[in-house]
Amino acid sequence: MTADEIQAANYASECLGDGRRRYVMSFMITDLKVSLWYYDRIGVIKSEEFDLVENPRLFILAIAAVTTCDMKHFGFEPMIRPTSTIASPMRLEHPIRLKPPRDIRGWEIHIDEGIDSEGQSVPGVVRLKIIGSLIYVQAGIVGRGTSVLPVSAFADSGLADVDHLQKLVIRFS
């Protein structure tokens, strides 16, 4: 890897260390050569390089794809959602220009189906509220990417045996 590729990987690692990302995409432009990069917890994929002058169509397609991404397709965990009182970057006209907020207290986690501590299926939508900062985030590109968040259950959360005032944690891996 070149020094520039290592620097780009460090940026991707920093993004994945946010705790809310599943993957990161990037462009590497050196002189007139362009390559697309994809980083996730399994590893790194690099596209074949193409010449910007000889094949501008590919570059325009890549730019168009990135600028029309919503937050899910930009690599953010789709189960973590802003509350309905916060304008969602996923629904705004220019999502690429918005910076996701660093503090996600008050945001919600929606799980379509889960498994409780006894291994029993919890059907239906489970709604949890994030009540604090990230407790733990596993750093690095390769690995499970474990993130632990403090949460509480909504009264109508779908968790029959959980008091909505009880403090809980949720782990994403």
Non-local (6+) Cβ contacts of 81 within 8 A are 88, 107, 108, 109, 110
Per-residue pLDDT of 85-141, as tens digits, reads: 555 555 555 554 455 667 888 889 888 877 777 888 877 778 889 999 889 888 788
CA gap 63, 35 in Å, rounded: 12
Residue 162: the pLDDT is 76
Q: How many residues does the chain have?
A: 173
Strands (E), the chain: 23-30, 33-40, 44-46, 50-51, 80-81, 108-111, 114-115, 121-122, 126-130, 136-137, 147-153, 167-172
Our measurement of the distance from residue 70's CA atom to the centroid of its chain's CA atoms, rounded to an integer in Å, reads: 11
pTM, rounded to two decimals: 0.76
- What SS3 class is residue 137? strand
Residue spans per domain, the chain: 3-67, 80-172
**Nearest CA-CA partner of 171 in 135, 139, 140:** 135
Residues 130, 133, 138, 139, CA torsion sign:
positive
Residue 63: the pLDDT is 92
CA gap 18, 170 in Å, rounded: 16
Per-residue pLDDT of 43-87, as tens digits, reads: 899 999 999 999 999 999 999 998 888 888 889 888 888 876 555
